[in-house]
Amino acid sequence: MTIEQPSAAWKDYELIDSGDFSKLERWGSYVTIRPEPKALWPKALSDAEWRRVAHTEFKPGAGFGKAGKEDSGTWNMLHKMQEQWTIAYPAVGFNLRLGLTSFKHVGVFPEQAPNWDFIAQSVGDIARKQAQAPKVLNLFAYTGAASLAARKAGAEVTHLDAVRQVVTWARGNMELSGMDGIRWIIEDALKFAKREARRGNKYQGIILDPPAYGHGPDGERWKLDECLYELLQACAAILAPENSFLVLNLYSNGYSAVLADTLVRNAFCPAGSPQPQRLDYGELVLRDRAGRALPLSVFSRLTR
């Protein structure tokens, strides 16, 4: 098991401080204060210092903590800033538009940087072994950082999400990064994976970052506990048996790295199936200036 974090060389993101159920983050030129239920320790800096350096603070709404509304609220401006701005991820070579949404998010999950690096490296390794571009499927793909990492490394990318607005956002990030050619799909992930299996289609990379709950574009119900293993089995049927990789990322509280590893081993590595060259699992964290690790997700990565 490994614990990974973004490289200090990434200058456009920093977790400045954390504690008292909040985090103080710098995104390029702007600093935000956002709720963080895992920051159980005291802040290293004073409240006055947080508010001095922050441009905006997210204030939870009446639905905060309720299923489907847990991240809703509004932003309280503390200093002048733009509501949309751009940061870069030079390690792979793409750009991301950020914005203040009503769900406390800004359009990227920075702890995912090690996954982006892994995706770019894996696509590059496969591309060097064959004439055709690797095919990569990104499910629950959000605003597309992982899709951009795969595309930049030379993959043919299928980007799928159930929410039209974030697919539009992802397309904008592709254009902002000077890329093209990503295939955009607005659909339920499980239905799509099962249909691809029936068609006999294969992908050399599959990226999964499922939410705890949600709905497809036609009202399909998604609940992680009930649907995850079925989805993994569907993905196992469409992942190429060699020269391929999988990334599973889980945010849900209570899901451990060991659980992610066990799920992937059972779905992708049953007896008699092609065995992976490598199978890693661990946690993705952010570290603040005081050196404290804030755990934010768990992952399992498979390489064949």
Q: Which residues pair with 15 in a beta bridge?
A: 25
Domain span at residue 180 reads 109-303
Residue 127 lies inside a defined structural domain of this protein: yes
Q: 220: which residues sit within 8 A by CB, 6+ positions away?
A: 162, 188, 190, 191
Q: How far apart are CA 139 and CA 122, in angstroms?
A: 17
- Going by DSSP bridges, is the β-strand pair 22-27/73-77 parallel, antiparallel, or unpaired? unpaired
Residue 256 lies inside a defined structural domain of this protein: yes
**In the structure encoding, which two tokens stand for residue 154, read together?**
């030379």
Is 114 in the same domain as 83?
A: no
CB atoms within 10 A of CB 176: 15
**In the structure encoding, which two tokens stand for residue 28, read together?**
């390029």
Q: Which of 280, 272, 271, 202 is nearest to 242 (CA)?
A: 202
Is 62 in the same domain as 134?
A: no
* pLDDT, position 217: 85
The last residue of one of the domains, among 90, 124, 157, is 90
Instruction: Specify the CATH number for the domain of residue 32.
Output: 2.60.40.1180
Residue 96 lies inside a defined structural domain of this protein: no
Is 143 in the same domain as 262?
A: yes
Domains contained in the chain, number: 2
Instruction: Specify the CATH number for the domain of residue 255.
Output: 3.40.50.150
Residue 157 lies inside a defined structural domain of this protein: yes
Q: What is the mean pLDDT of each run of 10 residues along the chain (304 residues)?
A: 97 98 98 97 98 97 58 92 97 98 95 98 97 97 98 98 97 98 97 97 98 83 91 97 97 89 95 82 98 98 96
* pLDDT, position 76: 97
Single pTM value for the model: 0.94
Is 74 in the same domain as 141?
A: no
Residue indicated by tokens 């991820």: 89
* pLDDT, position 223: 87
- CA distances to 129, 224, 284 from 203, in Å: 15, 23, 25
